[in-house]
Amino acid sequence: MGIRPIGQRRHLIGYLIISPWIAGFALFTAFPMIYSLFLSFTKYDLLGPPEFVGFSNFERMVSDHLFLTALGNTAFYTLLAVPVQLLLALFMALLLNQKLRGINVFRTALYLPTVTPTVAFVVLFVYMYNPEFGIFNAILGWFGIPKQGWLTDPNLAKPAFIIMSLWHVGGQMVIFLAGLQAVPETLVEAASIDGAGKLLRFWHVTVPMISPVIFFNLVLGIIGSFQVFASAYIATNGGPKHATLFYVLWMYRHAFENFRMGYAATLGWVLLGVILVFTLIQFAVSRRWVYYEGEGT
Amino acid sequence: MRRISQISFQAADASTRQRTLRAYVWIVFGRLFGYAALLLVAVISLLPLAWMVSTSLKAFGREFPFPPQWIPNPVVFGNYLTAFETSNLARYFGNTLMISVLATLGTVISSSLVAFGFARLEFFGKRVLFIILLSTLMLPVIVTLVPTFVLFKTLGWIDTPLPLIVPWWFGGGAFGGAFFVFLIRQFMLQLPRELDEAALVDGASYFRIYWRIMLPLSKPALAASAIFSFIHHWNDFLNPLTFLNSEEWRTLALYLRFFLYTEAGGGAGLTRWNLMMAASVVMLVPVLVIFFSAQRYFIRGVALTGIAGR
């Protein structure tokens, strides 16, 4: 053992300290990804060894009529749910950004549903969506609207899930709120001295200032929505008429109900590709509308 | 508040007095409107949970009165007893608690160490490694679920709680756990550098700096991580569903789903929604207790990760 140069020792210590992550990343992320890529070219039912089948999983996927159904359902859900969620979260954050007494109580009230366990929440909504006696139809009844089969009507099932998801936007709301509170007051006041009204100030000062936060919520919201699973698995199991057969649910069935691990691995990689494309597009478009302080416009 | 005082200060000028009055009216009006809007949103926000609690106290067969009944008549507290007596609810509660606590412990300990490395040490390739770490946040969990299932099956871990606990002791290397490393690192970056530099000069080892200086100072971030982690594991459905199948290790989330498909799904006459909701409330209570007791950490924690989006 000689004396190690200080620089080299420092590198070693650094790696030692982060070694749990390196090991975890190798074991539970990198290796599974590579293994999954390998599996996607095989037929594997967990009983026998994986059997190499070339590109046939991909061919099968393209000709699978449920592929487009599942992808379409998921895209429909995502493209509708995420904007509505973000608008609602921003609206609630704006309400919470007022300087009012007792605002903390309201913040708690608005955030609370978000920590409710998904399963408990979905089960509750199944009960509330009950076509005969559910509270949703009772409320509609007050306005003279006839009873709806929320989870049994193929046209309503996806909107029913979107409505349900609106009670879980607390995370986005708090992030918006933090963004709003970071907007320098001097900027807003300067605009107001220049004679800008509330709406104008909001649109030309607040929105550009919080655009990085909007972008953050948008990117993560889309990634999250593409993985919608538990609600559909529990409430409708993909029905009625495949209306809520979302991509991850469909993939999950292949993997863990039919044990087509090879095919499921293929579907996983395709999902990853789709999400990646969506994310890259957003990053490219973001240059046009996201304003980062210190970069200039 | 500030604006009002500013305006009243300006009111010394007589010509603007009328304008000031109008401004006051607008401010009062705006506040009233603000409260009204908040109240409405808060009521809608809490309505489903109120309905859950209300139903859990209703008598069997009276869960669907028309018109909807908010205050049950009679109030049946016995539903909770029945929910525990007619199932192994206590065991599922214990299972979920054990898994959540052990996974959370691993998350906080290992993630804070890794976060310290990324926040405070300089080593070759740190930037690249950190970008890799961040990119795993965007990786859909389902993609690694299939191959990790094969891995755990080979290890003989299926139907044991190990797959739900062990990966969380690896510094955020698995299943999107990098979130916690990120959160704690963001916090550690704000701490003054002089602290560890002084300790280094005094001859303290890096591990000692982590344990004795950084950890105590990072308490708010650790608390936020612990709360997030606990609630995440407590509420998790996908992983228990995949890795557990016998009744022995069933978690509350699995039980609720099981309940829905067996008892509640057994035809309109057999639906025991009151018990179902009682079990849901039982699952909700620990989350609420944690949320209310540590709210300030919680909301700061969310904000901390979001600010980083800038």
* Span B3-14, pLDDT tens digits: 544 544 444 565
Confidence of residue B138 (pLDDT cuts 50, 70, 90): confident
- For residues A207 and A95, state if they share a domain: yes
Q: Give the chain B residue whose CA is nearest to the CA of A105.
A: B42
Same domain, yes or no: A19 and A137: no
DSSP characters over B225-245:
HHHHHHHHHHH--HHHHHH--
Q: Are A22 and A137 in the same domain?
A: no
Residues A119 and A223 in one domain: yes
Domain-located, residue A295: no
Residues β-bridged to residue A42: A52
* Tens digits of residue pLDDT in A29-73: 999 999 999 999 999 998 889 999 999 999 999 999 999 999 999
Average pLDDT on B50-58 reads 92
Residues A117, B139: C-beta atoms closer than 8 Å: no
CATH of the domain spanning B82-307, picked from 1.10.287.130, 1.20.140.10, 2.60.40.420, 1.10.3720.10: 1.10.3720.10
Tell whether A146 is covered by a domain.
Answer: yes
Cβ of B140 within 8 Å of Cβ of A217? The answer is no
pLDDT value at B263 more than 70: no
Q: Does B201 touch chain A (CB under 8 A)?
A: no
Q: Domain ranges for chain B, please list them.
A: 2-56, 82-307
Interface of A with B in 205-244 (CB under 8 A): 212-213, 215-217, 219, 223, 226-227, 229-230, 233-234
The answer to whether residue A243 sits within a structural domain is yes
Position A294 in a domain: no
Same domain, A83 and A126: yes
End-to-end, the C-alpha distance of chain A in Å comes to 56
- Asked if B161 contacts B103 with a C-beta cutoff of 8 angstroms, the reply is no
Same-domain status, A220 and A94? yes
The whole-number pLDDT of residue B270 equals 58
Which among B142, B210, B260 is the top mutation candidate for probing chain A, defined by the most A β-carbons within 10 Å of its own β-carbon? Answer: B142
Contacts of B70 in chain A (CB under 8 A): none
* B291–A contact, CB cutoff 8 A: yes
Q: A75 and A12 in one domain?
A: no
pTM of the model: 0.88
Structural domain contains residue A1: no
Total domain count, chain A: 2
| Residue-averaged pLDDT of chain B | 86
Tell me, yes or no, if A293 comes closer than 8 A to chain B by beta carbon: yes
Residues A7, A4: Cα–Cα separation, whole Å: 8
Instruction: Check CB contact of B283 with chain A, cutoff 8 Å.
Output: yes
Q: What average pLDDT score do residues B105-115 get?
A: 95
- Predicted confidence at residue A48, as pLDDT, reads 87
Asked if B124 is an interface residue toward chain A (Cβ–Cβ < 8 A), one would say yes
Q: What is the pLDDT of residue A297?
A: 41
**Domain range holding A29?**
6-52
A190 and A253 share one domain: yes
| A36 and A183 inside one domain | no
Give yes or no for B99 touching A (CB within 8 A).
no
CA dist., res. A61 & res. B269, Å (int): 42
Best probe of the B interface among A85, A119, A257, A261, by most B CBs < 10 A, is A119
Q: Measured in whole angstroms, how far is the alpha carbon of residue A206 from the centre of its chain?
A: 25
Q: Tokens representing B190? A: 């704000």
User: Which spans in B121-218 are helix H?
Assistant: 126-135, 141-155, 162-165, 178-189, 194-201, 206-208, 215-217
My answer on whether omega of the bond before B74 falls inside 30° of 0, hence cis, is: yes
Give me chain A's average pLDDT, please. Answer: 90
**Binary contact (B38, A96; C-beta < 8 A):** yes
Chain B positions touching A23 (Cβ under 8 A) are 170-171, 173
Domain assignment of residue A250, yes or no: yes
What's the mean pLDDT in B241-254?
Answer: 94
- What are residue A42's phi and psi, to 5 degrees? -130, 170
Give yes or no: residues A62 and A12 share one domain: no
Does residue A34 sit in the same domain as residue A95?
A: no
pLDDT at B268: 45
User: Would A130 be classed as within a structural domain?
Assistant: yes
